[in-house]
Amino acid sequence: LSTRASAILSSLDIPVGAELPGVYDGQWSGSGEVLESVCPATGEVLARVRSATPDELHEALGKSKEAYLHLRTVPAPKRGELLRQIREALSAKRDVLGALVTLEMGKIKTEGIGEVQEFVDICDYAVGLSRMMNGRVVASERPGHTILEVPNPIGVVGVLTAFNFPVAVYGWNFALSVAAGNANVWKPSPSTPLCSIAVTKIIAGVLEKNGLPGAVSTLITGGKNVGEAIVESRDIPLVSFTGSEAVGRVVGKAVQSRFGKSILELGGNNASIIMPDADMQLAVPAVFFGAIGTAGQRCTSTRRLYLHRAIAPKFLDALQKLYATINVGDPLVDGTLLGPLHTRAAVGIYSDAVQRLRQSGAEILTGGKTYDHAALSQGNFVQPTISIPKTADPADKIWSTETFAPILNVGLFDELEQAIEWNNAVPQGLSSSLWTRDIRNLGKWIGPEGSDAGIVNVNVGTSGAEIGAAFGGNKSTGWGRESGGDAWKQYVRWSACTVNFSDAAPLAQGVDFST
Ligand code: NAD
C-alpha cells in the first residue's frame, strides 16, 4: 500500500494489508463476500473487507434489537450526552477521517473534511434536540380529560447509504435516531467500506466507554443481498434509504409491502435559473461549484442551467473561463478542485451521456472527453462538460435523467415562467436555485407558482446545504426529509394518549351508550 494510504488508515486504527472484518454488532466479524476498496484517483486497492454471511447478518440484527431494548430506557438527555462525546471523538479525527473520504470516495480534501464536519454539526444539533423532542398537550372536549401526543423510540432503524457521502448521510440519520432512542443498522455502499469501518470504530469506542451495547451502531457491509435482507426485515420498522431512484423505487415498495416506514433520499436533477438582473460575480462561481464540485457526484449537483437569453453569451463566456482554470488531479493535494469519478463504470456512464448529447446535435462548449495525460491515466478522471442540447424539451432524456457526472446542460429562456416550468417538468425534485435581485421574482419562485423542489434557493447555488433545515426532495427524489427541521419526528413512534382523571367516563362526540 502507498505510504500516504497506510498513514491515513493507521491514524484511524485500521490495520493495513489485512483482510478486514466488515460486520460490527459489539464484536467484529465477517466471513462473507469480499468487498474491494479501490482508490478512484490511482486505482490502488486500499483494502479487502469481508462482508456478512446470512448467519452473521441474522445475529447482528438480533444484537441490534437487544441494543434498542436497552437504549430506549436511557433518558433522552443522557443519550444527548453520548452524542456529545461522539461529536468530540469525531471532531478529534476530523481531518484524517476527511482524508479517508477523499482517498476512498475521491472528493477533494476540503469536501472530505466538510463531510465529517456535517456529522459533527448534526451531533451538536441532536445534543440540543435530546432535551427538546417535545410531544403536545391537546385540549379535550370531555371534562376532566386531557390528551397527550407522546413520542417514543421506534425500534431498530436501517440506514442504507450511497457512495457519494460515505460519512455524512449515516451521521444525519444516526444522530437523530440515537437522540430518539433507537439502535441503528448501517449498510454502507459496497465501494466505501473503509469510511464506514472508521466511523463505526470511533462510535464503538464511545459506546464502550459508556457501558452501552456496540449494536446501538451496528455495521453490516455488503451489496444488494445484504441491503435486501435489511429492507425485508420485520425487526426494522424504519428504513432510511439514500441512493438512486431505480433502487429507491424497489426499496420503497418492499418496505411499504410489509407496512414499514421509509425515508427515501433519491436522485436529483437540479437546475439554476439566471435572470438578467442577477449578480454575475456571485452567480458564475456558484454554478461552477454546483456543476463541478465533487466532480458532479452530489445529489444536489447543478445539472441544468437556464439562462435568460439577454445575458446568456456573457454568462457562458465567464463560466467557460472558469472551467479553463480548473485544477484537476489528485484530490488529496491542496488546490485540486476536480477529482476523479468514483468508479470506472461511472466513466462509461459519462462517456455514454456525452455521446448521446453529440448524436442528438448538442453543442459541446467545453469538455466531453476523459483526460489523456499520464498523471491522470490510473484514475477515473473526466473533463467537466458544458453542453447546449438542441432541444430544451424537459421530457427529453437528456434533461429528464440524472447523469452522475460533471455535465451541465444549458437552455435559454425569455420569461421566468418558462424557466420555472422547465425546472418543475422533470421527475426529480431535490434542489433548485434562482439568481435575481428583483423581489418579485423571488416571491414567485418560493410561492405556489414557483419551484416544486424540496430545496428552493435564492442567490445560493443548488449544492451545499446546512444541517439546520430539513434536507430532502419531492417527487421521484422520494419526499424524504433528513437532518434538521422536523426530520426527527420520523424517528419516533407517536401515540395519542387520552387520560381521564375525572369520576365519570363520558364518550366523545356526546355519544350516549347508557343502559
Ligand atoms: P445506489 O442506489 O446504487 O446504492 C445505494 C445503496 O443501496 C447502496 O448501499 C447499495 O448497496 C444499496 N442497494 C443496491 N441494491 C439494493 C437493493 N435491491 N435493496 C437494498 N439496497 C440496495 O446509489 P449510489 O450509486 O451509491 O449513489 C448515487 C445515488 O444516490 C444518486 O442517484 C444520488 O443522487 C443519490 N443520492 C441522494 C441523496 C439525497 O439526499 N437525495 C444523497 C446522496 C446520494
CA-nearest residue for atom 37, ligand 1, is 266
The whole-number pLDDT of residue 372 equals 83
Q: Which of 87, 97, 91 is nearest to 12 (CA)?
A: 97
Q: What is the pTM of this model?
A: 0.98
Q: Is 232 in the pocket of ligand 1 (CB under 6 A)?
A: no
Ligand 1: which atom is nearest the Cα of residue 477? 41
Nearest to 356 by CA among 324, 400, 312: 400
pLDDT of 374 higher than 90: no
What is the chain's length?
515
Q: Of the candidates 45, 102, 96, which has an alpha carbon nearest to the alpha carbon of residue 329?
A: 102
Per-residue pLDDT tens for 428-442? Answer: 999 999 999 999 999
Inform me whether the pLDDT recorded for 274 exceeds 90.
yes
Cell triple for residue 139? 385540549
Quick check: 82 and 194 in contact, CB under 8 A? no
Kindly state the average pLDDT of the residues 176-188: 98
What is residue 496's three-state secondary structure? strand
pLDDT tens figures, 455-514 = 999 999 999 999 999 999 999 999 999 999 999 999 999 999 999 999 999 999 999 999
Exposure of 359 by Cβ count < 10 A (0-12 exposed, 13-18 middle, 19+ buried)? Answer: exposed
Q: Ligand 1 centroid vs 244 CA: distance in angstroms?
A: 4
What local confidence, expressed as pLDDT, does residue 115 receive?
Answer: 98
**Is 265 tagged catalytic?**
yes
What is the model's pLDDT at position 16?
A: 96
Question: What was the pLDDT predicted at 18?
Answer: 86
Cα torsion for 403, 104, 327, 268, to the nearest 10°?
20
- Ligand 1 pocket, mutate which of 247, 270, 298, 482 (most atoms under 8 A from CB): 247
- What would the mean pLDDT of 350-356 be, rounded to a whole number? 98
Q: How many CB atoms lie within 10 A of CB 250?
A: 15
Q: Are strands 183-187 and 302-308 parallel, antiparallel or unpaired?
A: unpaired
Give the number of other Cβ atoms within 10 Å of residue 203's Cβ: 26
Is 170 a residue whose pLDDT tops 90? yes
The protein residue with its alpha carbon nearest to ligand 1, atom 24, reads: 162
pLDDT at 105 over 90: yes
**ipTM confidence:** 0.99
Residue 295: which pLDDT band, with cuts at 50, 70 and 90? very high
Average pLDDT over every residue of 190-208: 98
Q: Which of 115, 245, 299, 402 is catalytic?
A: 299
- Burial code of 35-63, b = ≥16 C-beta within 10 A, e = fewer? bebbbbbbeeebbebbbbbeebbebbbeb
Q: Is the CB of 454 under 6 A from ligand 1?
A: no
pLDDT tens, residue by residue, 327-352: 999 999 999 999 999 999 999 999 99
Q: How far is ligand 1, taken at its centre, from the CA of residue 267, in Å?
A: 8
Mean pLDDT of the chain, nearest integer? 97
Q: Please say whether the beta carbons of 195 and 105 come within 8 A.
A: yes
Q: Which residue type does 69 have?
A: L
Please list the helix, strand and coil fractions of the chain in percent, rounded to the nearest 5, in that order: 40, 20, 40
C-alpha cell at 403: 447523469
Q: Cα(31) to centroid of ligand 1, in Å?
A: 24
**Count of Cβ atoms closer than 10 Å to residue 111 Cβ:** 22
Angle at 444 between CA 440 and CA 446, to 5 degrees: 120
* SS3 assignment, position 119: helix
On the question of pLDDT at 69 being above 90, the answer is yes
Distance (Å) from CA 160 to ligand 1 centroid: 8
Query: Are residues 219 and 24 in contact, defined by beta-carbon separation less than 8 angstroms?
Result: yes
What whole-number percentage of the chain has pLDDT above 70?
100
- C-alpha R_g of the chain: 24
Write out pLDDT tens, residues 120-164: 999 999 999 999 999 999 999 999 999 999 999 999 999 999 999
Residue 168: what pLDDT?
98
What is the rounded end-to-end Cα distance, in angstroms, of the chain?
84
Specify the pLDDT at position 184. Answer: 98
User: Is 104 one of the catalytic residues?
Assistant: no
pLDDT band at 272 (very low <50, low <70, confident <90, very high): very high
Tell me which of 56, 115, 265, 482 is the catalytic residue: 265
Is the pLDDT reported for residue 102 higher than 90? yes
Question: Across residues 165-177, what is the average pLDDT?
Answer: 98
